[in-house]
Structures are given as C-alpha cells and as structure tokens.
C-alpha cells in the first residue's frame, strides 16, 4: 500500500480508499467513473452471507448491465479476523468465486473499522452503496437486497440525465 | 361472458380479451390504464412453472411498485385441460395462492388457443408482456424472467416521459 | 365411486379409503403392500405448499427407493373448494406435475373432512404418514418434512425385519 | 504438526492423517470412533460448492443424528492456493461458518495432493466418505450429495449390527 496516496483520499472525489486493487489496471475512483452509475459492493471473504448472496448479486449486476453505463466496484472491508483475510487470501478467493469486476482492499489505518467503512458508517458486510452518474450517494443498504428492487434502483439512476454543467 | 362485448375487442385499445374478471370491479383495459406501465402476466393454473415462479413474481411486482405507476394484470390463457381449469377452479386457485391483482379469463372462442394468446402469438405459459405508458407493447417473454432484469425493464418504462399529445 | 366398497373400509387392513384411483390398475391397500414400507402422502391440488414441496418430495421418494421395498401412495384429501378440485381437475394436475405413483381420492362422505383425513385426525395438507412393513403407523407429520430426516426414517423402517408370523 | 506422529498414520486404523485439529480436544481416529458411523467430509475453505452446500450438509448431519451413533469429521484437504488457506484462515472460517464438528488439516507432505486426499484418490472437494461401525469404507462420493440419499445411507449403516468379535 502506498500510504502517501491513500492518506490523501477525498471521499467526495474518490468515493473510497483502497490500498490495493484486483481485476483493474487503473485504480477506479468516483471521479474517473463520472457519467456512470456506480454500485459499490463491500464484503468480507469469510462472511457467509457475502459468499452466498451478496457477491453473486454483484457479479450478476456486472454481467447484466452495460459497462458503458454501470460500473460495479467491490471493496474488501475487513474488520475482524485480519490475519485470515489478507490480500493473498483475497486473491485466491476472487479466483475461486470467479469475480471479474474491480475489487479493492479498504485501507486499514483506522480502528476498529477500515477507512472507507468508517467514513460511510457501514454497519457490517455485505453493504451496498449506489452512486448516481454525478457521483452522489443515493442508496446505502446493509444485508441482503432484493434483485428486483436493485434492478429497478440501478435503472432509475441510469435514466437520470446528467446534471447541467 | 358477455359475448357481444368480447367479440368487439380492439387489441390496440383494450390490450386483451377476457370473458370474466377476478379481483377487479371494472374490467381493466390498456386504454383505461394509459399513463401507467402495464405488466400482463399470462398463465395456466395447472402449469407448475407458473405456480412456482411466474405468479409469485407477478405478485411481487404488484407489491413493490406503486400502483399509481405500474399495473399488474393477470390473464388465464387456457389451451389444454379445459375441463380442469374453469372459472370455479380458477377462483379457488386465486384464493389459495393469495393473488391480489386483477385476473381475467382469456376468451375461448378460437382454436386451439384462446383469443388473446393467439393474437400475440404466445408460445405457452407463463408469458409476460410489458406495455409502456402509452400502451405500446415493449417486451414479450416466454418462460422464466430474471427478477433483476424485470425490475430494470419496468423502471425504464416508468421513467419514460409520456409522448407529446 | 363404489359406495358399497368404500363404506366397508377397515383402516387397519386397508390403510385408507378412496373412491377412485389414478396411476394404478389395482386399488392399493395396506394389506396388499404388506412387506413394504408405505409412504402415504396426502395433499390438495390447490395447496401451494403441496405443489412446491410436498409432492416433489413424494415423487423423489418414489424415484430413489426401490419399489420392491418402498411404496409411495398419494391421497387427495379435499376439505375446501370441492368444486374446484374434482377428479377431472385432479387428473390434469397429475399429468402436468408428472406424478407417477398411485394417487387415490379420499372418500367425501363425512363432514367437514373426507373419511381418511378424519380417521387419522390430520391437521391439514400436506400430511405424511409412514407405515412399517407390518402395516403399523410409525410416523405422522403435518407440513414440510426435511429430506434428510425422511430418507433416514424410511431406511430405518426398511431395515426392520418382518415380525415373526 | 507433530511430524513424527503424522508420519506413522495407518489409514486402516486411523482413517485419516491430520497435522492439526479444531473443535476437538483429542484427535479423533477411526479406531477411537469404532461402533459409530463416521461421516468424513473433506473440503477447501475457498471452494464455493463446499461453502454453499457441502459444509451446511455436514453440519446438518451433525445436528440431526445422535452423536452416540454418528460422528461427523471434517478434513481440510488443501491442494491449491496453499498460502490463502492456512490454519489461521481456517480457524476464522470455522468460526464464521459456525461449524461445530471436529475439523482436521490434511497433512501436506505429498505432492500435489495432501496425504489423506491422495490415499483415498479423491477427485476434488467436496468429497464425502462414509465408514460403517466397524471402520470399513462403504461410500465415497465427489460433489453434491442429495440430502435424502445421505440420510438413508447413514441410517442403513446405523442399523447394521456390529460384526461378531
């Protein structure tokens, strides 16, 4: 992790803090995704509800919606069992679960929660945050989200015109 | 069934033909629902896929979306086992499956398919037709439809402005 | 229905009363199945839990266990919506749900419950009764039964030796 | 791992080789479980099918059958991503998935498969081995096993008398 870079995170601009990325050459930021709806899915690899429901749903969003309009970003927000969920384990987990969207590792320099998780006051994993095409946070959900509701929420944001500039 | 009335069906205006309605005092028509997205769910009460997947999904749409914007209409399109699926049986079926949206009985005066089913060239049950707020047919699906896809499709039509008049 | 025959039912010998049978040339009775474990699955064709869980489970027992040792018998115990669940409807239902084990129609000459249902004081549908190889009732369950439990229960009875005669 | 102890494994007597145990004060062996049916469930913590199906099924067997008659033993047979699935990770995984039966770590001194996995020529994870009350291997399955089949298989072995001694 590049401590310097991560310490300069501006959440309004960047959306999240991450010390490392998988499935992405360039670290994605909210600013770099402007114009797209962004689905931020936060999880822990040892959280059973994330493995069974949350991550398959995130992968489904990634498959169903055109990447020109919707970007799925995963974030590994470890707040327990740190030794068991390091980047080496996460890399194998991503491979075994065939996750293909960009996945970052939340910055562990705050206590007890990693930095992005603390910033958004997330209550646990999985959590889902929806940002509109302008980068504004529009939905924040903890736990299982219904597929039909999520499909409708994403489409509603997709069809909003960009704000006047 | 009022044969006279049913024989004068104009599908562009009425959307469907029905000899009888349940869960509705006034027979709904496409014209009477103008301004709303209309989800037409066609089924047979003895079709296992309809009981297990199609009808619960239709009921879920009815529960999740505001009725001011989205109307779910069921249509019993019997094309086999006619003796087993008459209106008396359908009424009990609707009660036992706790279906609360309007459900019509497709008119059985054509052969081998009932009239609405034949008009739209449906391939079987369940079939799902989506009409936009202007009453134009926008989606026609046979078999199981994914919840996330359907949620997105309905929301896309909800957010379309009405056509200029 | 042969009223005469049905009125002479001896439950200890026959196991159940039925006015009509499907999927069976000879009306099965407990006595005729002596030596086999008998799974009596009672249902109503408009009971959603029967369609979704009970009947697929009964069909699975019929498929997994050798018919030389285990016999599945279905019984349509109608206690509501009688007009909607007559034999004509049941026949179509059996066909559409691809049920291949013998299915009888419980005798409707008692009120409010049909005769077999009343005799065993069943609480509703689905109900499952397990008879051992000697024809003794060994399990009586109402509602959903776990597959692992049922598999173990049937095997336990299969492995019991016949009583000395 | 006590290399000395593990290197002296006699599979006919011990059933499996393990370098470490969780949820068990005494390392269980086939010999120490003589008289009980033994369900050996082998898995990898990053195998999605194990998390979704295999391990919940093993936990269900542990809950449903009396421990006086049936013992469930888990074995972590790592053959890929070794760095990601070490004992520290496994311990957290066991806690998060609320697994309460004894779980050992297969001995990684053979290549490419760990020792128990190689001995039984297992094809992957999950694999399930059933031993009878005498310690003889009676079933060897790879992949998902049906609950009803497994319940019946376990009960069949439970009801076998012990061999004459």
Distance, CA of D42 to CA of D28 (rounded, Å): 15
> Given 3.40.30.10, 3.30.470.20, 3.40.50.970, 3.40.1010.10, which CATH number is that of A19-24+58-159?
3.40.30.10
Its sign, for the CA torsion A129, A131, A136, A138, is negative
Q: Where are the domains of chain A?
A: 19-24+58-159
Lowest mean pLDDT among A38-47, B55-64, B102-111, C30-39: B102-111
**Chain centroid to CA D111: how far?**
20
C146 touches D at CB < 8 Å:
yes
Q: What pLDDT does A110 receive?
A: 79
pTM of the model: 0.91
Which residue is closest to C155 within chain D, CA to CA? D152
Report the pLDDT averaged over residues A38-62: 96
Residue B2 is predicted with a pLDDT of 45
pLDDT digits (tens, 9 = 90+) for D49-65: 999 999 999 999 999 99
The CA distance from B20 to B11, in Å, is: 17
The alpha carbon of C107 is separated from its chain's Cα centroid by a whole number of angstroms, namely 13
Q: Could you give the dihedral angle defined by the CA atoms of residues D10, D11, D12 and D13, in that order, rounded to the nearest 10 degrees?
A: 60
Is the separation of the CB atoms in C75 and C42 below 8 Å? yes
Q: Mind listing the pLDDT tens digit for each residue in B97-153?
A: 999 999 999 999 878 899 999 999 999 999 999 999 999 999 999 999 999 999 999
Return the structure tokens found at B87: 């209106």
pLDDT of residue B68 exceeding 90: yes
pLDDT band at D162; cut points 50, 70, 90: low
Chains B and D touch (3+ CB pairs under 8 A): no
Per-residue buried b or exposed e for A47-78, using 16+ beta carbons within 10 Å of the residue's own CB: bbbbbeebbebbbbbbeebeeeebbbbbbbbb
Between A163 and B61, residue with greater pLDDT = B61
Which chain A residues contact residue D95 at CB under 8 A? 81
Tell me: pLDDT of A75 over 80: yes
Task: Find the DSSP H helices in chain D.
Answer: 3-7, 11-14, 48-49, 55-64, 87-96, 115-119, 147-158
Chain A CB within 8 Å of residue D94 CB: no
* Closest-approach residue (CA) in chain C for B86: C84
For an interface test with C, give the residue of B43, B86, B88, B89 to mutate (most C CBs within 10 A).
B89
- Among D117, D99, D104, D27, smallest CA distance to D58 is for D99
And the tokens for C15?
A: 């196991």
CA distance B30 to A121: 46
Confidence check: pLDDT of D2 > 80 = no
3-class DSSP state of C114 = coil
Question: CA B159, CA D20: separation in Å to the nearest integer?
Answer: 59
Neighbours of D136 (CB within 10 A): 12
**pLDDT mean across residues, chain B:** 93
Average of per-residue pLDDT across B153-163: 87
B95 contacts on C by Cβ (under 8 Å): 81
C154–D159 C-beta distance less than 8 A: no
d(CA D165, CA D162): 8
Do residue C52 and residue B47 have CB atoms under 8 angstroms apart? no
């Amino acid at each position: 992790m590049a401590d310097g870079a991560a310490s300069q995170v501006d959440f309004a601009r960047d959306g999240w803090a991450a010390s490392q990325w998988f499935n992405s050459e360039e670290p994605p930021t909210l600013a770099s995704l402007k114009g797209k709806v962004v689905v931020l899915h936060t999880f822990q690899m040892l959280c059973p509800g994330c493995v069974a429901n949350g991550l398959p749903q995130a992968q489904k969003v990634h498959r169903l919606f055109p990447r020109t309009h919707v970007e799925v970003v995963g974030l590994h927000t470890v707040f327990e069992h740190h030794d068991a969920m390091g980047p080496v384990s996460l890399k194998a987990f991503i491979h075994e679960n065939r996750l293909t969207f960009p996945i970052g590792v939340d910055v562990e320099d705050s206590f007890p929660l990693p930095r992005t998780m603390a910033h958004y006051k997330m209550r646990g994993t999985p959590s889902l945050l929806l940002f509109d095409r302008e980068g504004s946070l529009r939905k924040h959900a903890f736990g299982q989200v219904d597929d039909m509701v999520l499909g409708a929420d994403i489409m509603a944001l997709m069809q909003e015109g960009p704000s006047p500039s």
